[in-house]
Chains A and B, each alone.
Chain A
Amino acid sequence: MCKVPALQIMATEPKLAPIRKGLLEFLVLKIVGAKSVYVPDILRQLAGTEFATQEGTLYPLLSKLRREDLVQYEWKESDAGPPRKYYRLTDTGRAQLHALNEYWTLINRTIANFGH
């Protein structure tokens, strides 16, 4: 069986778009949780994965996460250009990420257990 074409079909399958969209928030929490990052760092990590994202999508999402008190940012000077916003998780954000991680593991186990 050839695996690559199947994966390519999945990337354009419209049924899966809502799944990726829904998981993006989880993934952004994961990335921000690993270390304090600014937006181009996040984009770089997502690029080349199924979750490749544009700034136009990320800013509204980060704004929502900040409003929900899951992430916060601080300004840091950069060597080139204006200061940058570095995002990190709040305590609430960390708790939520932990809960999401456990839930994700649970869902995966459930899915794997069906159809035998």
Chain B
Amino acid sequence: MQRIATTVRLNRSVLQFDDAAHTRLEQYLAESASLLEGDPDPQEILADLEQAVADQCARRLRPQQTVVTLAELEPALEEIGSLQAPGGESAANHAMRETATLNLQQLSEGAVISGVCAGLARRLNLNVTLLRVVAVLLLLGTGGAMVLAYLSLMVLMPYAPLQPGGAPIRWLPSKTRAFMEFVRAKLGVDQPSNVTA
């Protein structure tokens, strides 16, 4: 037995796709849906996009041809292009940048212990070395209080998502991060972890 074609409903049109074209179509639509993450109205855009794919494919079918193949689908998708957020920035990227700049987060990249100083320096626009010098002076001056302060910030500040291709992470910060994430998972505390762009 051989399956000849799959019938697909694309918004208001119904078309038949062969296996290869059907797989490619599913991949394109899944990609498009993930590009719309964070968009307030993804359903509407996806419906429009499905209709566009259907129209473009139907237009490319030869007379008597009923099943869409890659020969029609590929140029159709090429003409439609991938989804672009208005303003040129994808919604997902935008959401990530917002949380990265608004929240106080620990930065693992370039961190020495856990990323508290690196995170504070970025949030407050301070020189990180200067901040670390102040932290060490406070440690020498106050002793236990500074250790307590650092530990509480380490617990309270969530970790910023790791940046693919970012600066390498030292041994201690990577262990601290893994440990803290383990503890948070045990305690059931929300940790928006490892979102990659």
Q: Mark B1-39, 1 if CB is under 8 A from A, else 0.
A: 000000000011100000000000000000010001001
B178 within 8 A of A: no
Interface size of A by CB at 8 A reads 22
Known A-B contacts A55-B81, A56-B81, A81-B58; A61 and B86 likewise in contact (beta carbons under 8 Å): yes
Which residue of the partner chain, among A56, A62, A83, contacts B84 with CB atoms under 8 Å?
A56
The CA of A35 and the CA of B36, in the complex, are separated in Å by 29
B166 to chain A, nearest CB (A): 24
Interface size class of B (residues with CB under 8 A): 20 to 34
Most chain-A CB neighbours within 10 Å: which of B54, B85, B87?
B87
The CA of A22 and the CA of B49, in the complex, are separated in Å by 22
Return the chain B residue nearest A82 by Cβ.
Answer: B12
Decide if A59 touches B13 in the complex (CB within 8 Å). Answer: no
Decide if A59 touches B55 in the complex (CB within 8 Å). Answer: no
Known A-B contacts A21-B87, A82-B13; A55 and B49 likewise in contact (beta carbons under 8 Å): yes
B48 within 8 A of A: yes
A6 to chain B, nearest CB (A): 25
| A window 58-114: CB within 8 A of B | 59-64, 66-67, 81-83, 85
Known A-B contacts A54-B80, A54-B81, A81-B58; A59 and B52 likewise in contact (beta carbons under 8 Å): yes
Known A-B contacts A59-B45, A63-B44, A82-B13; A54 and B79 likewise in contact (beta carbons under 8 Å): yes
Known A-B contacts A54-B79, A56-B49; A64 and B86 likewise in contact (beta carbons under 8 Å): yes
Decide if A18 touches B88 in the complex (CB within 8 Å). Answer: yes
A39 within 8 A of B: yes
Contacts of A25 in B (CB 8 A): 86
Decide if B88 touches A56 in the complex (CB within 8 Å). Answer: no
Decide if B45 touches A57 in the complex (CB within 8 Å). Answer: no
The CA of A81 and the CA of B13, in the complex, are separated in Å by 8
Return the chain B residue nearest A24 by Cβ.
Answer: B86
Decide if B80 touches A55 in the complex (CB within 8 Å). Answer: yes
Q: Mark B83-110, 1 if CB is under 8 A from A, else 0.
A: 1111110000000000000000000000
Q: What are 22 sample pairs from A and B whose C-beta atoms fall under 8 A apart?
A: A22-B87, A25-B86, A39-B48, A54-B80, A55-B49, A55-B79, A55-B81, A56-B80, A56-B81, A57-B83, A59-B48, A60-B36, A60-B45, A60-B85, A62-B48, A63-B41, A64-B86, A67-B41, A81-B13, A81-B55, A81-B58, A82-B13
Taking A56-B49, A63-B41 as known contacts, 8 extra A-B pairs with beta carbons closer than 8 A to each other, sorted by chain A number, are A22-B87, A54-B84, A59-B83, A60-B36, A66-B44, A67-B41, A81-B13, A83-B12
